[in-house]
Amino acid sequence: MKKVLILAVFALASAVTYAGGYRVSLQGNKSLAMGHTGVAVVNSSELVFFNPAGLVYLDDKFNISVGASAVFSNIAYQDTQSGANAQSDSPVGTPLYLYASYKATDWLAFGLGVYTPYGSEVRYEDDWEGSHLVNYIDLKAIYIQPTVSFKVNDKLSFGGGPIYVTGSVEFNRNLNRTLTDLEGNRSEVTVDASGVNSWGWVASAMFNPTDNLRIGATYRSEITLEAEEGDATFENIPNSPLTPFNNTTFDAAMPLPAEMTVGMSYDFCEKWTFAFDFNRTFWGVYESLDIDFADPAIPDSFNKRNYKNASVYRFGMQYDATKMFTLRAGYYFDESPVQDGYFAPETPRNDSNNFTAGLTVNLGERLQIDASFLYSHFKEVNASYNYYLESGVAAPFRGTYKTNAFVPGLGLTYKL
């Protein structure tokens, strides 16, 4: 059975509120507090994600960072012409991370990262105006990344390693805008897949031209997730030869796009650090969201997405206020990869302004408490998805979307 792009919809749950496309930018509390900068900042094993090449510059032989964020999101939809409106009822998402590093020698270090770049849930009220596109999505995914870092000299290092991904997903929508059973219940389909696994890789470099200036670059490869024989369950189907929707299976595949991050950090006035990251995500690989069912009697679903490559601009500041407290703040601007006419309610987001803050509390020389806070405000957008077909006829779905998110985070860093 042919592979098709469907799992992208699975990832939309986590993307809705705090990242471009279906990407979650919550990979470390220290870095998030500084505007999610980190490709050129050496301060903890969060470098496993942001720049593995920097691990060899850590002073600690062992460094372990763990943490999680609580995502409170809100999506409001309204169609001013029809008067239809809806608001998401999204449970609190809890993306988490665990990083560990070991400095074997002065020139060699190893690291391991476990993190959840996709792991949230979005729900609309059943049978809302856009239920033929989505009712709810629930995604869980875990990334496992072993890394190695080696120093060429005091100014230059390289790092990288493989990435293993495993996850599961559940997605529900109504079959169309009108079909019901004899009792008037809307006909719907739920697709469910687990044990979706794949591999990718990461490579990075760090250059220190002076004692105060660092320059970093990290490239994370495209990863293709493939689901085979996932379950497709149909409910409230009228008993008619015209509606041959029986429970079946499906195969699916999707690209998680490659991304490149470059940046710098600069220490000044003894206690201050400024950081800037530029991220480019190659979303152009996400062209369509299609469902191919095993039962040939069930019509496949083909949904264009046609994403474009998009950029993120990140700025962060750090101030070592006292021996006990380190303060951080930041900002980043996140471009939407969604083009005009392709605005689907699974990703009701536009360009966003993101404001961050946080601190580290040093509880002695070995243990730190890391706290962060993110507020994401997405520009209000009146947009449409023009490629939904019903009985072969285009039926555009339009509305105004308002989206924002509050994301507090808490973590611990232990060093030895």
Q: What are 86-118's pLDDT values in tens digits? A: 766 665 566 889 999 999 999 999 999 998 876
How high is the mean pLDDT of the chain? 85
Structure tokens belonging to residue 167 = 């996850």
Q: Say whether pLDDT at 9 is over 80.
A: no
Q: What is the pLDDT of residue 134?
A: 83
Q: Say whether pLDDT at 189 is over 60.
A: yes
pLDDT confidence tier of residue 33, bands split at 50, 70 and 90: very high
Q: Which residues touch 269 (CB under 8 Å, ≥6 apart)?
A: none
Q: What is the pLDDT of residue 94?
A: 66
Q: What is the pLDDT of residue 2?
A: 34
- Distance CA(173)–CA(416), nearest Å, equals 50
| Strands 213-220 and 259-268, bridge-based pairing | antiparallel
Q: What is the pLDDT of residue 1?
A: 35
Q: What are 339-388's pLDDT values in tens digits? A: 888 887 776 568 889 999 999 999 988 999 999 999 988 888 788 888 88
- Distance CA(395)–CA(133), nearest Å, equals 11
Choice among 62-66, 120-124, 220-224, 287-291 with the minimum mean pLDDT:
120-124
Residue 356 and residue 372 in contact, taking contact as beta carbons nearer than 8 Å: yes
Supply the DSSP symbol for 130. T
Domains, the chain, ordered by start: 8-415 (2.40.160.60)
Q: Say whether pLDDT at 221 is over 70.
A: yes
- Distance CA(280)–CA(335), nearest Å, equals 10
Q: Say whether pLDDT at 218 is over 90.
A: yes
Q: Say whether pLDDT at 415 is over 90.
A: yes
What average pLDDT does the segment 214-240 reach? Answer: 89
- Distance CA(377)–CA(387), nearest Å, equals 27
Give the predicted TM-score (pTM) of the model. Answer: 0.87
Between the ranges 61-75, 233-247, 304-318, where is the mean pLDDT highest?
304-318
Q: What are 110-159's pLDDT values in tens digits? A: 999 998 876 556 778 888 888 888 888 777 778 899 999 999 999 999 99
